[in-house]
């Protein structure tokens, strides 16, 4: 990390804008989903040896704050390089829907959210769970989340993108953490399933019979998803903002780490250039 004071140049139009980073810090020790390997970062050149810094990264792209492409869970649907750039930029809302351990974000929650969620919006839901983000069971095993009903609501509303400050676009017990997919028949975290059943008196598969139904409901409609949203999220909650989050132009990519940014123009004076020549 540099200790040298640095002044970043800004054009006159950008000086009045406010930028909010909705991404968690990423690097060594980034929390990992239960069956993913750690991020590995190696210095191939260092300042002391080469007078230049060059690093090599080995990572799962579903790491930290990241995007899911439709092809991540739905066969024969677009992958990263096939998604239009307009999907990664636009206006939308950050809504507060506080939830506790294992609670579900419902269609009624989304319908009542403020500001109102509109067709074409990029929608980020703040459950408050980003405050637990880390290598811990609270964040991954006990998270609240979306389920089929929320996914179908987003699809019917016709939003552009959906993001959440939890471990996935689905409730953890509707993922491989529960008895689904690669985690079946006991789930990646069988103790979590046992604890749920002991606390509620209900079987996990009675309450969450489908595997990642919110993922499938939205991604099958071309609605991209952001997971592990955090950073300055609380500062823009309850506001309409402009979002930007561009992934790599990765041919065949199923997901990608992104820098999700919310932009606010308090004066309303900023404009995008018209593309005029001369």
Taking only the tens place, the pLDDT of each residue in 223-248 is 999 999 999 999 999 999 999 999 99
Q: Tell me the C-alpha distance between 159 and 162, whole Å.
A: 8
Strand partners, 18: 264
Count of beta carbons in the 10 Å neighbourhood of residue 186: 12
Q: What is the pLDDT of residue 60?
A: 96
What's the whole-number mean pLDDT along residues 20-37? Answer: 96
* Residue 94 backbone dihedrals phi, psi, to 5 degrees: -115, 115
Structural domains in the chain? 14-23+61-264 (3.50.30.50)
- Torsion, Cα 275 276 277 278, to 10 degrees, reads -120
Provide the total of helices (H) and of strands (E) in the chain, helices listed first. 8, 13
**Which of 1-15, 33-47, 203-217 has the least mean pLDDT?**
1-15
For the purposes of burial, counting CB atoms within 10 Å of the CB of 152, is it exposed (0-12), middle (13-18) or buried (19 or more)? middle
Tell me if 204 sits within 8 A of 173, measured CB to CB. Answer: yes
156-207 per-position pLDDT tens digit: 999 999 999 999 999 999 999 999 999 899 999 999 999 999 999 999 999 9
Q: What global pTM score does this model have? A: 0.95
Tell me if 227 sits within 8 A of 66, measured CB to CB. Answer: yes
Q: What is the pLDDT of residue 1?
A: 63
- Percent of the chain surpassing pLDDT 70: 99
């Amino acid at each position: 990390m540099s200790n040298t004071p640095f002044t970043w140049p800004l054009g006159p139009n950008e000086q009045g804008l406010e930028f909010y980073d909705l991404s968690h810090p990423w690097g060594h020790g980034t929390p990992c989903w239960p069956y993913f390997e750690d991020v590995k970062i190696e210095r191939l050149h260092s300042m002391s040896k080469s007078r230049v810094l060059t690093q090599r990264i080995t990572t799962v792209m579903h790491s930290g704050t990241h995007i899911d492409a439709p092809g991540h869970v739905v066969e024969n649907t677009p992958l990263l390089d096939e998604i239009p750039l307009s999907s990664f930029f636009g206006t939308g809302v950050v809504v507060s829907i506080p939830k506790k351990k294992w609670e579900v974000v419902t269609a009624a929650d989304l319908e009542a959210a403020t500001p109102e969620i509109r067709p074409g919006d990029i929608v980020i839901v703040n459950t408050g769970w980003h405050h637990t983000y880390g290598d811990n069971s609270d964040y991954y095993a006990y998270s609240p989340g979306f389920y089929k009903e929320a996914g179908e609501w987003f699809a019917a509303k016709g939003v552009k993108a959906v993001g959440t400050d939890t471990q996935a676009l689905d409730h953890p017990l509707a993922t491989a953490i529960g008895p689904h997919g690669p985690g079946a028949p006991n789930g990646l975290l069988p103790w979590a399933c046992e604890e749920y059943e002991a606390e509620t008196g209900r079987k996990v598969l009675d309450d969450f019979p489908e595997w990642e139904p919110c993922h499938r409901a939205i991604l099958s409609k071309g609605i991209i998803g952001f997971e592990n949203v955090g950073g300055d999220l609380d500062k823009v909650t309850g506001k309409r903002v402009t979002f930007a989050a561009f992934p790599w132009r990765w041919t065949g990519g199923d997901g990608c780490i992104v820098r999700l940014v919310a932009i606010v123009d308090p004066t309303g004076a900023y404009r995008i250039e018209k593309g005029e020549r001369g």
